[in-house]
Amino acid sequence: MQTVDFGAPADFGAYVFRVEIPASRIEPVIIIEDYGYRGLEGGIPRSEERALLKRPVWSAIAETARREFNERLKAAKVTTGRWHTGTNLVDRLLGKELCVLAWSAESATPEQISVICSKWAALRPEERWWLFAMTVAEAGLPEDTQRGWRRALFYALSDGEKATIGRKRAPRPSEQDLFSLPLFEDPQ
């Protein structure tokens, strides 16, 4: 199958995400879910805007997304992409992942964005898809920035230290350790 930009099928009418990057540095970047031929059937719109990002926010997350997506495209033996002014097409699953990154960064400070990018990169694709599904169900439009799962993404990914891929997790406590907690002590 022939692809364009970031793994998007070259076929007309394919379900993709579009990232509109204007030439003007003061205009926002828009991420749009384009349902392709599936749109306008059974109540599904032709397309829906998912995020409006201020240019500095987009600039802060774009490289992380490009690097992550291109690694996966190379592994799948698909042509890699780069962000350019105008319309950028993104495979539908990668587009969902991009929305999770964009939503979590849209109201963050530059310091928080670096933590968000690190933690987003440490998530598995399936985790990002699940987060997209949960978020889009109630807060998937550009104006929903401070609602529900959309706000939760910001808190979940911006809090704390940068994630390190391959970082060792703390060992799970044994059953003996759990029952020695004060909660389970004999009240006598």
With CA atoms as reference, report the closest residue to 47 among 16, 22, 91, 21: 16
Give SS3 for 45. coil
Spell out the domain ranges in the chain.
Answer: 3-164
Tell me the β-bridge partners of 17: 33, 90
151 is written with which tokens? Answer: 């706000």
Indicate the pTM of the whole model: 0.81
**Cβ-based neighbours of 104, under 8 Å, separated by 6 or more:** 116, 120, 153, 154, 156, 157, 158
13 is written with which tokens? Answer: 């009418």
Residue 14 is predicted with a pLDDT of 85
Residue 73 is predicted with a pLDDT of 93
User: Are the CB atoms for 79 and 22 separated by under 8 Å?
Assistant: no
**Do strands 29-34 and 8-9 pair parallel, antiparallel, or not at all (unpaired)?**
unpaired
Residue 183 is predicted with a pLDDT of 46
Angle, CA 60 vertex, CA 55 and CA 66 arms, to 5°: 105
pLDDT 10s digits, 140-187: 877 878 888 989 999 999 986 555 544 444 455 555 554 444 444 444
**Residues of the chain falling short of pLDDT 50:** 165-170, 178-188
